Amino acid sequence: NRPPRLHRDFVMTRPCSLQNAPLRIMQWNILAQALGEGKDSFVRCPMEALNWSERKYLILEEILTYRPDVLCLQEVDHYFDTFQPVLASLGYQSSFCPKPCSPCLDVHNNNGPDGCALFFNRRRFQLLHTTHLRLSAMMLKTNQVAIVATLRCRLTGRVFCVAVTHLKARSGWEAFRSAQGAHLLQQLRDITTQSYPEMDQENRTRVGDGEEGIPLVVCGDFNAEPSEEVYRRFMTSPLGLDSAYKCLSEDGTTEPPYTSWKIRPSGESCSTLDYIWYSERAFQVDAVLRIPSEEQIGPDRLPSYNYPSDHLSLVCDLSFSQQPHRLM
Ligand code: NDP
Ligand code: CA
């Protein structure tokens, strides 16, 4: 007697070609169990809808509905006992980076720190390298982290980097988020322009200033509206990134109206905080999973019996542009 899942269609953003199998990327802040029960105070979500014994199946069901090739999660505080073993049995290899001082640890009966986790289809990709980053802001270490993995497609030999991050939350921290974003972009530039001896010219793409690097996908809960400086930094960085969900808008340049919608004692918060960035010279967006309507989300907003997190999952299909280095 559980209510039905939110139904969401894929919007095709360009004619589908049969020859290239796109990469399906999923970005999702799944809501840490300890934070949902102990810190968030979602006033319109019944506590029973947050029971881990049931909520974990809603999270897994959402992931398995879309079967992403690459899955980027934030607020994971059940990696070792749930997501790693379950998703490993379904063919995913993964990496987990806990926050150094996770707020989950303040919650009674917590299950350990929350952090970012990155999963990929291990039949499709070979892992070349993983980096765990602790983000800095103005040279100071912060409590936020990122994972960067370099993957090679077993079938085509194509190499790309994928990163997952979760920037500092709350208003008043806009300059801090921007500084974290600047540090992350610098690290990503270093990683994607490092020379991998096993990689040939075909795998590099021009990233500006005549520099060549590995194609990049960055998924994250940036905790920042598109009006914030950190968004502008990503939009205008020398890495040549664009945001996949802009494809959903009529003019192709506007982010969705919300990716997170919740009601706390302080009031209702409906905001665009989550993004999938991609190297615009290297990838084309083939399809994007639609954002559910206000009616689908319902008057009590998120999380709910129908949907297990206060953030919506973002899913898109990316395909490599043909011969990126010869497009110049
Ligand atoms: P953040 O400010 O980035 O937020 C942490 C989490 O709180 C995020 O997952 C965020 O979710 C969520 N959140 C955002 N807004 C609210 C809100 N209004 N009410 C409840 N939860 C919210 O945390 P930091 O990583 O900077 O850590 C700071 C917190 O960590 C402190 O509040 C403190 O409790 C704790 N702490 C613990 C220490 C320890 O030793 N254990 C040491 C230092 C701090 P989302 O991203 O979805 O918005
Ligand atoms: Ca949260």
Q: Give, for all 328 residues of the chain, the pLDDT tens digit.
A: 667 789 999 999 988 766 679 999 999 999 999 999 999 999 999 999 999 999 999 999 999 999 999 999 999 999 999 999 999 999 999 999 999 999 999 999 999 999 999 999 999 999 999 999 999 999 999 999 999 999 999 999 999 999 999 999 999 999 999 999 999 999 999 999 986 666 666 777 776 666 789 999 999 999 999 999 999 999 999 999 999 999 999 999 999 999 999 999 999 999 999 999 999 999 999 999 999 999 999 999 999 999 999 999 999 999 999 764 444 4
**Closest ligand, as measured to the CA of 273:** 1
- From the alpha carbon of 29, which atom of ligand 1 is closest? 47
Q: Give the dihedral of Cα atoms 246, 64, 55, 85; nearest 10 deg.
A: -120
Pick the closest to residue 22 from 60, 66, 59 (CA basis): 66
Q: Do residues 287 and 244 touch, judged by C-beta distance below 8 A? A: no
The CATH fold of domain 10-326: Deoxyribonuclease I; Chain A (3.60.10)
d(CA 51, CA 169): 24
37 Cβ closer than 6 Å to some ligand 1 atom: no
319 pocket-lining for ligand 1 (C-beta < 6 Å):
no
Distances (CA, A) of 270 to 6, 83, 256: 18, 28, 11
Q: How far apart are CA 57 and CA 52, in angstroms?
A: 9
Domain boundaries, the chain: 10-326
Q: CB of 164 closer than 6 A to ligand 1?
A: no
pLDDT score at 14: 87
Q: What is the 3-state secondary structure (H, E, C) of the chain?
A: CCCCCCCCCEEECCCCCCCCCCEEEEEEECCCHHHHHHCCCCCCCCHHHHCHHHHHHHHHHHHHHHCCCEEEEEEECCHHHHHHHHHHHCCEEEEEEECCCCHHHHCCCCCCCCEEEEEEECCCEEEEEEEEEEEEECCEEEEEEEEEEEEEECCCCCEEEEEEEECCCCCCCHHHHHHHHHHHHHHHHHHHHCCCCCCCHHHCEEEECCEEECCEEEEEECCCCCCCHHHHHHHCCCCCEEEHHHHHCCCCCCCCCCCEEEEECCEEEEECCEEEEEECCCEEEEEEECCCCHHHHCCCCCCCCCCCCCECCEEEEEEECCCHHHCC
Choose which residue among 29, 30, 37, 40 to substitute to test ligand 1 binding: the one with the highest number of ligand atoms within 8 A of its C-beta.
40
Q: Determine if ligand 1 sits within 6 Å of the CB of residue 33.
A: no
- Residue of 170, 262, 311 with the most ligand 1 atoms within 8 Å of its CB, for mutation: 170
Closest residue to atom 4 of ligand 1, CA basis:
169
Look at the chain and count its residues.
328
Which of ligand 1's atoms lies nearest the C-alpha of 260?
47
Q: Is the peptide bond before 303 cis (omega within 30 degrees of 0)?
A: yes
2 lines ligand 1 (CB under 6 A): no
